[in-house]
Amino acid sequence: PPLSGTQSPAKRSSSSAFTPPKPYSKLPPPLTCPSPAPALDVDWKDNETFASCSTDQSIQVCRLGSDSPIKTFRGHSNEVNAIKWDPRGQLLASCSDDMTLKLWSVDRGSLVHDFKAHQKEIYTIKWSPTGYNTRNPNANLYLASASFDATVRLWDVEAGACAQVFCNHREPVYSVAFSPCGRYLASGSFDKCVHIWSIESGTLVHKYQGTGGIFEVCWNSTGDRVGASAADGTHRLYGNCLLLLLLFLLLLLLGRIWLLSRLLLRLHPTGTFPVSVDATGQSHSGQAEKESQHRQADDKAEARQPVKSSRREESSSWHQRVHCSAIGCCMQFPYDFAACVAPIRRRNERGARGRGH
């Protein structure tokens, strides 16, 4: 309804200019549930009912139009950090600094499960988008808990037991989030890492390194991106964009290898590439073509008249003719060509000693 002091569209004259209402100035006072201590979290069950938790170790369920809580749960021995309703709205999960995770039934007004496995405070919890009244009705309903003991635990609500323990983080875990399909779980820790886990196998699928401690992670609606907020003031997006970058770099490397192989085959049709190597093993490939022509001329001259041994040794001490396959040069040339031709140079030296040169 229109706020008091403003004119409804039916009563507003066509000649008068529109005056925007003053928001929040005439709104009714907010509904409050009395509590002597600060509230740490709140979660809606539906459009009429919500729950809140406080540092006074209590959980209160409130409803619009009621001046007092309709339910109050007590059972934690320390501050209650977070509460979450399950997808059906029948169970309320709570986690506390007392290192316990509890499930409450609003209909019964009592405690259903009391999970004790974490070794330090439990900071947050999240329900999986699975089970009845979800987009994944045939999958089991799970509850994930993140703790300061650097672990994430996955709880099977129906069995009332821990189903998986994810322990690859090195610092306290502040956030967890299920993918829309319910098959993966993202976790963010103060060790600057975002981990993606497989619910079915319990294995680490992806690991992303940030620049600051991760305080919150969240999936997009399609389940192919994960957003993370960090302590250094940055917001990062992880997902298929990183895989596309790695694929691009791989294709770039393969293209470079293919071009080098075609270049070497063009330099010599037989698939060999003449390279000059000095006595220290350093290659001088820039003079390869000229020296190859000189070697051919020397071979012809040697066939016509004998060459003195001293001249042959002097030439052999500075240059040796080696042949590398096109593929071998292609794989080694961009990195360490001297290492590629060193074994061939030693083989030629042994051959020269065997011929008496």
Q: What is the pLDDT of residue 314?
A: 46
Residue 198 in this model has a pLDDT that exceeds 90: yes
H/E run at residue 315: helix 309-318
- What CATH number is associated with residue 56? 2.130.10.10
Same domain, 164 and 187: yes
Q: Do 77 and 55 form a contact (C-beta atoms < 8 A)?
A: no
Q: Which of 179, 213, 243 is the last residue of a domain?
A: 243
Structure confidence at residue 237 (pLDDT): 63
Are 261 and 327 in contact by the 8 Å Cβ rule? The answer is yes
Residues 288 and 139 in one domain: no
Number of domains in the chain: 2
Residues of the domain holding 332: 245-354
Q: Does residue 121 lie in a domain region? A: yes
Same domain, 269 and 337: yes
The reply to whether 180 and 95 lie within a common domain is yes
Ramachandran category for residue 160: left, alpha or beta (phi over 0 → left; psi -120 to 50 → alpha): left
Burial class of residue 19, CB neighbours in 10 A (0-12, 13-18, 19+): exposed
Of 102-106, 129-133, 330-334, the least confident = 330-334
Same domain? 303 vs 265: yes
Specify whether 233 is located in the same domain as 287: no
Identify whether residues 214 and 264 lie together within a single domain.
Answer: no
The pTM of this model reads: 0.58
Residue 260, in any domain of the structure: yes
Which of 4-18, 33-47, 135-149, 253-267 shows the lowest mean pLDDT across its residues? 4-18
Flag whether pLDDT at 337 surpasses 60.
Answer: no
CA 97 to chain CA mean position, Å = 28
pLDDT of res. 319: 42
Predicted local confidence at residue 34, as pLDDT: 58
Q: Which of 33-42, 154-163, 227-236, 272-281 has the lowest mean pLDDT?
A: 272-281
HSE-up of 294 (CA within 13 Å, CB side)?
12
Residue 357 has pLDDT above 70, yes or no: no
For 249-304, strand residue ranges (E) read 272-276
Q: State which of 185, 210, 243 marks the end of a domain.
A: 243
**Alpha-carbon dihedral of residues 59, 62, 68, 71, nearest 10 degrees?**
-50
Confidence of residue 187 (pLDDT cuts 50, 70, 90): very high
What is the distance between the alpha carbons of residues 318 and 278, in angstroms, rounded to a whole number?
Answer: 5
Domain's final residue, options 216, 243, 270: 243
Q: Does residue 15 fall inside a structural domain?
A: no
Is residue 16 in some structural domain? no
Q: Which helix (H) or strand (E) holds 330?
A: helix 326-332
**23-65, pLDDT tens digit by residue?**
544 555 665 555 678 999 999 999 999 999 999 999 999 999 8
For residues 346 and 357, what is the distance between their CA atoms, to the nearest angstrom? 15
- Give 99-122 pLDDT, tens digit per residue: 999 999 988 889 999 999 999 999
Q: What does the pLDDT look like over 239-268, one tens digit per residue?
A: 655 555 667 778 888 887 877 766 665 555
Distance CA 21, CA 328 (A): 78
Answer yes or no: do 221 and 118 share one domain: yes
Residue 88: is its pLDDT beyond 90? no
pLDDT of residue 355: 56
Amino acid letter at 301? A
10 Å CB burial of residue 327 (0-12, 13-18, 19+) is middle
d(CA 174, CA 196): 14
Look at residue 135 in the predicted model and tell me its pLDDT: 81
